[in-house]
Amino acid sequence: MRFQILGPTSALGEDGEPVALGGPRVRALLTLLALHAGRIVGGEQLVDGMYGPRPPEGVANALQSQVSRLRRALGRDLVEFHPAGYRLVADPQDVDARRFELLAQQGRQALAGGDPGRAATLLREALELWRGAPLSDAPHAEAAAAALAELRLAATEDRVQADLDLGRHRELVAELSQLTAAHPPRERLRAQLMRALYGSGRQAEALTVYDEARKILDEELGVEPGAELAAAHLAVLRADPALGAAAPDTAPAARRRQGLRAQLTSFVGRAEEIEEVAARLRANRLVTLIGPGGAGKTRLATEAAEQEPGDVCFVALAPVSDDAGVPGAVLSALDIRDAPPTPDRLTVDPATRLVTALAGRSLLLVLDNCEHVVAATAELADLLLASCPELRVLVTGREALGITGESILPVAPLRLPPPETGDPLDYPAVRLFADRAAAVRPGFAVDAGNAAAVVRICRALDGLPLAIELAAARLRTLPVSDVAARLDDRFGLLTRGSRTALPRHQTLHAVVAWSWDLLDESEQRLARRLSVFVGGARPEAAEQVCGLSEDVLFSLAEKSLVEFVGGRFRMLETIRAFCAERLAESGEAEPISEAHARYYLDLVMTADPRLRTGEQLEWLVRLDEESAELDAAIRWATASGRPELGLRLLAHCACYWWMRGHRVTGAHLAADLLTALAFRPPPGMEEEYVMCVLIRAWTGDVDDELRARLAEARQLLPAYSLPLRLEFLSMLLSAYTGPPGEYDEVYAALIDRADDLQPWQEALSYGGVGFLLQSVGRAAEALDNFERSLAAFKAIGERWGMVMTLSGLGSLYEEKGDFTTAVALADEALAVATELGAETEIAEALCRRGDARLHLADATGARADYLRAAGMSRRNGSTETLAWARLGLGQVALFQGDLDEAHALLVQAREEVPADWYSAEDTRARIATALDEVNARSAATPSADPSSKAVSEPPAGPPDKAVSEPPAGPTGDPSTDPPGEAVNTPPPGPSPGSPPGPAGGTVSER
């Protein structure tokens, strides 16, 4: 079936006969659907096109009724219902309007390609599809009808051009005379008429046409003739021979650049964005660059406009004070003057004058900084794009225009380097700083001495180009290190921009204040409250803490005050700092901060028990996302005189921090909190207080005050009591204060409290008993308990417990001399710890595997494991594991005969062992034994070069065995192992997660 809408609407069946459609509403409905054939048309759009601005009551039912009538006329399958509207099931090429557009485009391409004969044929075929006024049965679709009419006129001009190129000058004069009379300001038609007249031997008349055109353009629009008409006039005056055969507009005309300023600085770091803007402009007629103030939208638009091959007009909207001034600003940028007033001339509004002036012109119109007049800009852009088919528009602002056909391109800040990077100049933010700094301080360059400060400046300023340029300008009077140090007061520091810049671009504060002032009251309220989130917020968190609906949050995102990244709404730090000042001024800082802290207390109390279940991976990721917020909430509670709130937050973060290896941060937060508490537990919060003391000891930095508090911990909580609120305290308490008693006592407690244990505590207790049985030499029973513990942890899906138990099994098999199995168990522990993302446990598993590998004489593999474990332990503050790794590296050096390196590493390990870690005496004993062996070998070969030492000599043996005792071989039996192949069996290293016994009782591995 074919559809005709370029005139009265009709539908033609397969036989070419018209289909009876019915009344005017049905025809209007078909017109609108056919205009968008193959695409869904929204119900509101259909209602507007059928009924105009005043639809009848019950219009939804009326629309459904017309759809039913149309389905009866065409067939039900041709009009589909969708939740978003209705769709005419038809190939767009079966609609005359769409076929016209395709043929016109093909004709234009043929004309540009130098094939006027084919162009004329295609364009005539296109124009023959017209049967009258377009969309005549949809009287309320004026904009679409006007666009089609403009396309028809442009296609007529193209067809005339093709005929002129074919030498049909005489036969075109009459037609062109009628066309110019109907469209007086149409410059291309007048240029074509001049050419037709000249080609017909009528030069004087051709010049008269030009004079008439110049007068009309001046009086009605206040403009001079454009490049094409002026070129035709000059060609006639010169009697250019080309007028008889080729169109004047086939010669390249000079590009017009209106309103574009020549740039005084280099353009840095936006090569990809420039290409993206150009690609968007090729594919779309309306492109909007959005982003926060100072992101570089104007400069990007300017550079893109400079690379535009055709005409460009750049319109600065920043000086425009209200919506009414937008069309006038565009007229002024286009150099269109007001027509002189006369009594008989009607006043033409600016928008209409723009439509007339741009209707036949190919132009890129740049509307810059429209955020304060966004509604008027959107209205004007929509009108011009609908009426001027050769026009394209590039817009910049803090928010999108929000009109159909808009392609939105966010302009992000410049790419930033990480805090530590090899070459910071690989990143555009740093390159921009270096470029602008060199301009104010000749000879400045980013080098090893200042790179860290430059990176710190760029990161603190979020990579915002304007802020970076303001910071670089400060180098006139300050060294770069001082600029970096003073950025806590960024708004006071960055105050001296270019004198010729707009006032809002002369200081960083003014840049953000401009955006702030454009917000309504509710948006400002949410923006200032949202600054309490240091790392952004999920929508539900922002809504609950800030007390405003998420619709306001979405509005802030649309206005570039916040960005939506990874499911969170985040503020750039510069915007957050500004909003935090507004929060302080409002008097709301304290209640909002408390709401923030209590929200995250609820979150961590919900998450904490789930970290010890099969859901732990999901909840670890969730807490990773909120880690900065948790830290900030604890800091605020501590500093604001609410230590009990901070204590509860910190206590429920302990398991998360332990599994993620956040020891240093946790210890510092705990230290501040203990000081605020004056080292006294609040009534009824003994568990939380003890947890805080234990967390404070995580880094191994124990002073006399903390040592006394650790001793006090056992008195505050009875040895075999079950924590009521903090399940994870079962493990930590004994890990830092040692096992509560002997095996029989512990085992009896386990039996006595078995019914009270939760699944995780029960699994933990089996592991603790396993370590205790191992320590008293009951290996078979220990093995049974380890296996029960591992099975229990697997049953609840708790990976941290699996790693701990696999570590215990590994140490048990090491004692038995089965180092191959020990390596396999360490591999399994490493795989589970890696899945968990627990760096401390990964480092421990590496040390455990390194021990077993060294026993198997794999010194290379062992050294690699120890080195990796040392690096991870340094990062997360696990000093006991770091000491273990150093001990292992020393034993590798001893095994390889490098006595000097072994001695240095072992001494370093001895210094790193935490003094108050209860199981550290085993590590110190191993270190002492290894050092004794180093000294003994050095004494035996006082003049030997270290490289001459035999590489097959074993590392130090266990501390509880005499140095002279023959080393055990792989079987553990000195009588059966061949000499020279045995490797002493070092005891297991210190385990930061020394597995706890029942009801809070942790048992040492040794």
| Angle value at C-alpha 198, between 195 and 200, nearest 5 degrees | 110
Q: Is 244 exposed, middle or buried (0-12, 13-18, 19+ CB in 10 A)?
A: middle
Question: What residues are paired with 42 via a beta bridge?
Answer: 85
Distance of alpha carbon 680 from the chain centroid: 44
Q: What is the reported pLDDT for 505?
A: 59
Across residues 855-869, what is the average pLDDT? 94
Give the integer Cα–Cα distance in Å for 814 and 805: 14
Mean pLDDT is lowest, of 169-183, 448-462, 639-653, 730-744, for 730-744
Give the integer Cα–Cα distance in Å for 182 and 737: 98
Of 691, 699, 696, 698, residue with least CA distance to 717: 691
Of 816, 835, 746, residue with least CA distance to 985: 816
Residue 234 has pLDDT above 70, yes or no: yes
The token pair that represents 228 in the structure block? 């094409």
- Is the dihedral angle over the CA atoms 58, 63, 69, 71 positive or is it negative? negative
Question: What residues are paired with 569 via a beta bridge?
Answer: 537, 564
Question: What residues are paired with 86 via a beta bridge?
Answer: 41, 81
**Residue 999 DSSP SS3:** helix
Give the integer Cα–Cα distance in Å for 381 and 401: 9
Give me the phi and psi of 508, to 5 degrees please: -65, -40
More confident residue, 13 or 980: 13
Q: What is the reported pLDDT for 718?
A: 63
What spatial distance separates the first Cα and last Cα of the chain, rounded to whole Å? Answer: 89
Contact residues for 932 (Cβ-Cβ < 8 A; gap 6+): 956, 963
Contact residues for 114 (Cβ-Cβ < 8 A; gap 6+): none
Across residues 806-816, what is the average pLDDT? 91
Residue 987 has pLDDT above 50, yes or no: no
Q: How far is CA 958 from each of CA 863, 929, 961, rounded to the nearest angstrom? A: 19, 7, 6
Contact residues for 812 (Cβ-Cβ < 8 A; gap 6+): 770, 774, 779, 782, 783, 786
Strand 40-42, strand 2-4: pairing: unpaired
Residue 529 has pLDDT above 90, yes or no: yes
Q: pTM for this structure? A: 0.65
Residue 790 has pLDDT above 70, yes or no: yes
Alpha carbon dihedral 474, 478, 482, 483, in 10-degree steps, equals: 0
Q: What digits encode the pLDDT tens for the residues 682-712? A: 998 999 999 999 999 887 777 788 888 887 8
Ramachandran area for residue 409 (φ above 0: left; ψ -120 to 50: alpha; else beta):
beta
pLDDT band at 668 (very low <50, low <70, confident <90, very high): very high
Q: What digits encode the pLDDT tens for the residues 7-32? A: 999 998 888 888 888 888 889 989 89
The answer to whether residues 30 and 21 touch, using CB atoms and an 8 Å cutoff, is yes
- Report the chain's mean pLDDT, rounded to a whole number: 83
pLDDT band at 1006 (very low <50, low <70, confident <90, very high): very low
Give the integer Cα–Cα distance in Å for 356 and 414: 41
- Is the dihedral angle over the CA atoms 727, 730, 736, 737 positive or is it negative? positive
Contact residues for 142 (Cβ-Cβ < 8 A; gap 6+): none
The token pair that represents 647 in the structure block? 């204590």
Q: What is the reported pLDDT for 39?
A: 86
pLDDT band at 487 (very low <50, low <70, confident <90, very high): confident
pLDDT band at 583 (very low <50, low <70, confident <90, very high): very high
Question: What residues are paired with 88 via a beta bridge?
Answer: 79
pLDDT band at 628 (very low <50, low <70, confident <90, very high): very high
Across residues 884-912, what is the average pLDDT? 92
Of 629, 679, 673, residue with least CA distance to 651: 673
More confident residue, 253 or 753: 753
Q: Maximum CA pair distance of the chain?
A: 125
Residue 713 has pLDDT above 90, yes or no: no
Mean pLDDT is lowest, of 210-214, 717-721, 838-842, 999-1003, for 999-1003
Strand 311-316, strand 363-368: pairing: parallel
Q: What is the reported pLDDT for 745?
A: 59
Of 902, 802, 884, residue with least CA distance to 848: 884
The answer to whether residues 52 and 140 touch, using CB atoms and an 8 Å cutoff, is yes
Residue 646 has pLDDT above 90, yes or no: yes
Helices of type H across 238-359: 271-283, 297-306, 326-333, 350-358
Across residues 638-661, what is the average pLDDT? 94
Residue 341 has pLDDT above 60, yes or no: no
Kindly state the percentage of the chain with pLDDT values over 70.
86
**Residue 366 DSSP SS3:** strand
Residue 917 has pLDDT above 60, yes or no: no
Q: What is the reported pLDDT for 948?
A: 39
The answer to whether residues 695 and 670 touch, using CB atoms and an 8 Å cutoff, is yes
DSSP-derived letter for residue 219 is I
- Residue 484's identity, in one-letter code, is A
The token pair that represents 694 in the structure block? 């234990």
Contact residues for 345 (Cβ-Cβ < 8 A; gap 6+): 219, 220, 339
Across residues 140-144, what is the average pLDDT? 86
Mean pLDDT is lowest, of 218-227, 421-430, 555-564, for 218-227
Helices of type H across 296-450: 297-306, 326-333, 350-358, 374-387, 428-440
Q: What digits encode the pLDDT tens for the residues 83-137? A: 778 888 888 888 999 999 999 999 998 888 888 889 999 999 999 999 899 998 8
pLDDT band at 139 (very low <50, low <70, confident <90, very high): confident
More confident residue, 599 or 978: 599
Give the integer Cα–Cα distance in Å for 370 and 392: 16
DSSP-derived letter for residue 251 is S
More confident residue, 323 or 343: 323
Q: What digits encode the pLDDT tens for the residues 246-275? A: 333 444 445 788 888 877 788 888 888 999
Q: What is the reported pLDDT for 338?
A: 60
Give the integer Cα–Cα distance in Å for 721 and 728: 13
The answer to whether residues 305 and 258 touch, using CB atoms and an 8 Å cutoff, is no
Q: What is the reported pLDDT for 348?
A: 65
**Residue 557 DSSP SS3:** helix
Residue 981 has pLDDT above 80, yes or no: no
pLDDT band at 645 (very low <50, low <70, confident <90, very high): very high
Contact residues for 296 (Cβ-Cβ < 8 A; gap 6+): 270, 411, 414, 464, 465, 466
Across residues 131-155, what is the average pLDDT? 89
